[in-house]
Structure 1
Amino acid sequence: MTTLTTKLTLTTNYPRKPRNFLHIFMASLLSFSLLSLFLFLSLSSSATLKINHQPPTKQEQKQISKPPSFATTTPPGILQACKATRLQDTCVSSLSNANVPQNPTPLQIIQSAISVSDTNLKTAQSMVKSILESSAGNIDRTAAAKNCMEVLNNSQYRITRSAGDALPRGKIKDARAWMSAALLYQYDCSNALKYANDTSLTNQTMSFLDTLMSFSSNALSMIVSYDAYGNDTKSWGPPKTERDGVWELGSGGDLGSELRGGIPSNLTPDVTVCKNGSDNGCYKTVQEAVNTAPDNEWGRRYVISIREGVYDEIVRVPLEKKNVVFLGDGMGKTVITGSLSAGQPGISTYNSATVGRGGPLDLAGC
């Protein structure tokens, strides 16, 4: 028993020597690693300090550049033209990123400003379309988005007329009128969404519309200055209105007005509306007569004679129906009435009108 116990004791104690040796070896290895790391960091730090204290070479100095600013990168013509706007920083930044020709003329700058508005209008239309597609089951938001789509389409048409028709033909006042209408339609869209602003997408769209209106406002301001001073951009400045004590000819101020009222003479009816309807060779409703007007015809008026009577209907004159004239039998005799009012489900002030128009419309004797 004693011998067996001794053997067990020897067998148990024998592995302890290699284990102690292993501990010593690992400790030495760890110390060596830490020492190597310390020496490496010390050398790296010294090298870094040495490099940082060396001044840059001439070649390196040439490679150092300052960030560009509008004052140094924007053509002087754009800087001068943007002084005609109330939002000069927005004007300069938008035109600096636009496709403006080198050494542009004032008219080319205006065209570029209108192009910026047109490009952003397309983005706004896409955003409103997304609102409409996501508004199923929400009557008020659906109605607001539809109204918004309609007025933005009208704005698109006016911008196209201003840039593609009026300005190239030198019709500056026409360009002013078209661009002013385009801006107003954009405001109408934002105003429509204001009453259905219950989603983040609607809120984002309204914010973007504010940006769009700033671009359109800048383009309109430059057209106003161009109308007043032509190519003399040094005389351009932010537009002034009657609030500033400035009255333009024909605006009803002290300079008088060239506007003349009354029923235009020599109006020959193209179609007639009467209560008896087609039995007398006339249309029974005003809307039926409106639908017969030709599309996009600017050369003449299209006269609709509306005989005495009360016409209980809602009339819409589409944008493509130009120069439509309603000629009635007199006040209190020819009456068009309807029953829409804001507050009804899906009805806003915009689409509550009894007679609504998208294109030019004259009312004579109604």
Structure 2
Amino acid sequence: MGGKVVISIVSLILVVGVVIGAVVVVRHGNSEVSGASRGSMKSVDKFCEPAPFKDACARSLESVANNASATPKDYLIAALQATVEEVNKGLDVVGNTKIDEKNDSFHHMAVEDCKELLGYAVDELQAAITSVGNSQLHTLSDRVHDLLNWLGAVYSYQTYCIDEFEKPVYKSSIQNGLLNATRLTNNAMDIVASLSDILKSFNIPIPSTNRKLLGAMGHDGFPTWFQAGDRKLLAQQESGQLVPNAVVAKDGSGQFKTISDALRAYPPKGFTGRYIIYVKAGVYEENVIVDKKQTNVFIYGDGAGKTIVTGDKNYGIMHIQTSNTATFYEMIHH
């Protein structure tokens, strides 16, 4: 009996020893993994430093966080792709919000508008991803202004989407569905705004840029950042030599009586160059929507106080979505 007890105790000691040894090996293994990835985690921390939602930023980089050779460009693409995924999740929430048009036409239309707006948000993010992907690492900071424009549009679309809804039950659902998307968009905007500092922290040389300030004016009176084609176009317009594709005149002396009709005559797919619309003097009571597929549209009139466009859509009186009340509404294109 005593011998059995001694043998059992010895066996127990051996088992415990094996377990302890296993724990030591596992812990040692974790230590080695942590040591290998410590540099990557420091890189993630540096990249996410400007982000207001740092935990969300770190999670958005999981696909590249363990890649020791990942660059700020890889991190930025990963962050933008994660934002696309969250916007699409929000789009699913909106799509699953079923509202009967007969019982509540206002919120039924809000759902449709919201789906459209979030679709535009995805387009903007994809354009940003393509822009970053086509950039060299050392010239990435040259894309800051374009990226901020796209991301600003994404944030606006998300905000407009939420603002479309009045009833708390719908608004809170959409807001919660877009919570991660809005946080990642905020993160991306702050990161891009600090991109030059981030690149410097990674010891990436940034070449000097010749980018002109928006307010800088050339000798011809046009902003210096205007491309040659745009400058020529505006110069022709000022001199009266510009030949429009469509003429709008309320008195019937043009091809169209409304700007909207002129836009509906936009050439079919495959058109290149500028689509120029000249709007003669008069008061045009309409809400003009330039579709995102209608690229390179140039509209000009006879001057302030002569060519006047005024819309009368009103949220408070007509009870329509705010996004549909603008006199001129351009669906952003690339």
* TM-score in terms of structure 1 length: 0.67
Match of 1:177 among 130, 143, 149: 149
Match of 2:162 among 179, 190, 202: 190
Shift of 1:224: 2.3
Shift of 1:215: 0.9
- For residue 175 of structure 2, what is the aligned residue in structure 1? 206
Please, which runs of 5 or more residues in structure 1 have no aligned partner? 1-46, 237-247, 252-256, 362-366
**CA 1:336 to 1:281, structure 2 compared with 1: closer, same or farther past 3 Å?**
closer
AA paired with 2:80?
Answer: I
- For residue 293 of structure 2, what is the aligned residue in structure 1? 320
* Cα-to-partner distance string for 1:193-224 (whole Å, 9 max, x where unaligned): 3x23324xx42331131211111222222222
In the alignment, structure 1 residue 338 sits paired with structure 2 residue 300:
no
Structure number with larger C-alpha Rg: 1
Query: Match of 2:298, SS?
Result: strand
In the alignment, structure 1 residue 266 sits paired with structure 2 residue 241:
no
Matches of 1:166 and 1:283, distance apart in 2: 42
Please, which runs of 5 or more residues in structure 2 have no aligned partner? 1-7, 205-210, 224-230
Q: How many residues align?
A: 291
- For residue 109 of structure 1, what is the aligned residue in structure 2? 75
Matches of 2:281 and 2:65, distance apart in 1: 57
* Cα-to-partner distance string for 1:146-170 (whole Å, 9 max, x where unaligned): 2222221221121111111355145
Matches of 1:156 and 1:346, distance apart in 2: 28
RMSD, aligned CA: 3.8
Query: Match of 2:91, SS?
Result: helix
**CA 1:211 to 1:235, structure 2 compared with 1: closer, same or farther past 3 Å?**
farther
Matches of 1:182 and 1:319, distance apart in 2: 15
Shift of 1:104: 0.6
In the alignment, structure 1 residue 148 sits paired with structure 2 residue 140:
no
Query: Match of 2:194, SS?
Result: helix
Matches of 1:105 and 1:75, distance apart in 2: 12
Matches of 1:134 and 1:100, distance apart in 2: 44
Query: Match of 2:191, SS?
Result: helix
Query: Match of 2:96, SS?
Result: helix
**CA 1:150 to 1:235, structure 2 compared with 1: closer, same or farther past 3 Å?**
farther
The answer to whether the 8 Å contact 1:175/1:223 transfers is yes
Query: Match of 2:278, SS?
Result: strand
